[in-house]
A and B are shown apart, each in its own frame.
Chain A
């Protein structure tokens, strides 16, 4: 009797969270799916009707589509490469005994707390500006021609800005993982004559494997949806050079008022994110069993 009461109470306590998230998940997603098969333009509401796969076809044959997919992958891949490799190196460095470790740590993680519009505008105007930016000043000091970052390497510039924001995250997590490595194991390996390189390869890296996986997966979820950084720096241009899938959908929806087309794009984005999510859930789920 008591147990049944407890169980009922437990269910009642969970209900609000579960119901809210259920509604939050199902209603908008179902609507997106429904709209994606509709002719629906906010500027032309009369011609509304069933469209079959036309929206998908339209979205798919848009030359911007493949470029946006490529750009999305370049942003995700580029940022991951920089942050994971940089994060490992930085974590190894910060794991050494150093003077002022606490302050160094604070300096390194700070960019993570900077909101995306601030990060993007500061980099665009004060660091990468071809006339007045810090990088231009340095280039002139060295007698070089300043680089016009957003005109010459627009996508790379976005990657740099986003990587700056996420490097602290990778570093912090890898450092935390590194610090849980058993000192005795390290000493044992050292006594057995393993050199620095081998110790890293056969002891540290396997120990970090799980943290690296988590970093990659969580970052991928966020990096697939990079938006504000593009909006305030290049607005997707020049042309479609920095338009990723998220930005293309936004453009279709709120600049072209094409509800059907944007929804078809949204469905594609959801499918893409779900493939990644599947792997993430497995990694996190395994931890739960432990």
Chain B
């Protein structure tokens, strides 16, 4: 009896959950489906079964040079994340393993820089970029994204490093390991998973950032966010092509996101929810 009830309950919950999930996912599914339709099909009613043309993908490349903004996105998001890691790893390391009275204050202060609204510094940043010739350059955007994500990088790494037990270090030291030996042979292997998740989350955040990337770039350095935003002008009213460009723009990040769900919670809540 109890078993029957629980099976029924499971079935109902399953149906409800799948319905809700499909409604939420529908816009993405529909975009992917539309990307394989012809332009005429795209505006002729709901249909999830396209005629299967790849024409839109070809045209997005030949007419709008999709590869260029794609490479800009790759270079800027990966570049800024790697630089932020190079700066952030030593900082988080020293905070986790030789904390002082002020470590907590420094961490909180770093987090507070993240609270600064972008529009609050739009004007000076824009003027500085103009004066230094950084407008519409990959370097300019990489610098901004590095600084924007640095606090999250340090925080995430810190919460991971903090979980590495200090006793292991002492044991290694007893066994005669040098400081370099400690870092290379003991700590690094334990820190790799944390560093990897930090890397992943920050690439996702940088890839999707859509304020600075749109405002500080034009034809040359525009990443995908700015590229897609340019489809809002009338000449871009080609839904099948818009869908193809959109699918290409979100696919890599969607897949990375699926793999990093757990770390996402931790990273975005600064360790407050695990």
Do A and B interact with each other, yes or no?
Answer: yes
A interface, CB within 8 angstroms of B: 6-7, 9-11, 13-14, 16-18, 20-21, 24-25, 27-29, 31-32, 35, 90, 93-94, 96-101, 103-119, 121-127, 131-132, 134, 137-138, 164, 167-169, 172-173, 176-177, 180, 210-211, 214, 218, 221, 224-225, 227-228, 231-233, 245-246, 249-250, 253-254, 259, 262-263, 265-267, 269-270, 272-274, 276-277, 280-281, 283-285, 287-288
Q: Which of B18, B98, B106, B210 contacts A104 (CB 8 A)?
A: B18
- With CB as the reference atom, state the residue of chain A lying closest to B229: A117
Q: Which residue of B lies closest to A114 (CB)?
A: B250
Residues of B within 8 A of A172 (CB): 261, 264-265
CA distance A280 to B261 in the complex (A): 23
**Cβ-based interface call for B27 (8 A):** yes
Q: Beyond A110-B258, A173-B273, A273-B117: 4 further Cβ-contacts under 8 Å?
A: A28-B124, A98-B13, A225-B119, A266-B119
Within 8 A of A (CB), among B10-43: 10, 13-14, 16-18, 20-22, 24-28, 30-31, 34, 43
Q: Give chain A residues whose Cβ lies under 8 Å from the Cβ of B274.
A: 176, 180
Decide yes or no: A115 and B232 within 8 Å by CB, A123-B27, A269-B120 being known contacts. no
Which residues on the A side are within 8 Å of B226 (C-beta)? 117
B116 at the interface (CB under 8 A from A): yes
Q: Is the CB of B18 within 8 A of A100?
A: yes
Q: Is the CB of B34 within 8 A of A126?
A: yes
Task: Please tell me if the beta carbons of B18 and A164 are within 8 angstroms of each other in the complex.
Answer: no
Give CA–CA (A112, B256) in the complex, Å: 12
Residue B58 is within 8 A (CB to CB) of chain A in the complex: no
B:51-110 near A, CB below 8 Å: 87-88, 90-91, 93-95, 97-98, 100, 104, 106-110
A127-B27, A218-B268 known; A276-B115 Cβ under 8 A: yes
Q: Mark B203-243, 1 if CB is under 8 A from A, else 0.
A: 01001101100110000000011101101100001010011
Q: A176–B273 contact, CB under 8 A?
A: yes
- Interface residues on chain B, size class: 35 or more
Q: For A272, list chain B residues within 8 Å (CB).
A: 117
Chain A residues contacting B94 (CB-CB under 8 Å) are: 9-11, 13-14
Pairs of residues from A and B, 7 with the lowest C-beta to C-beta distance, nearest first? A31-B124, A277-B115, A28-B121, A13-B90, A228-B210, A113-B257, A17-B91
Q: Are the CB atoms of A214 and B272 closer together than 8 Å?
A: yes
A60 and B123 CA atoms in complex are apart in Å by 18
Report the Cα distance A180→B14, complex, angstroms. 21
Least CB distance from A85 to B in Å reads 14
Contact A97 B229 (CB under 8 A): no
Residues from chain A with a CB closer than 8 A to the CB of B272 are 210, 214, 283-284, 287
Flag B149-172 by CB within 8 Å of A: 1 or 0 each: 011001000000000000000000
Contact B211 A121 (CB under 8 A): no
Tell me the smallest distance from the CB of A9 to a CB of chain B, in Å: 7
Q: What CA separation (Å) do A180 and B266 show in the bound complex? A: 14
Contacts of B265 in A (CB 8 A): 172-173, 176
B133 touches A (CB below 8 Å): no
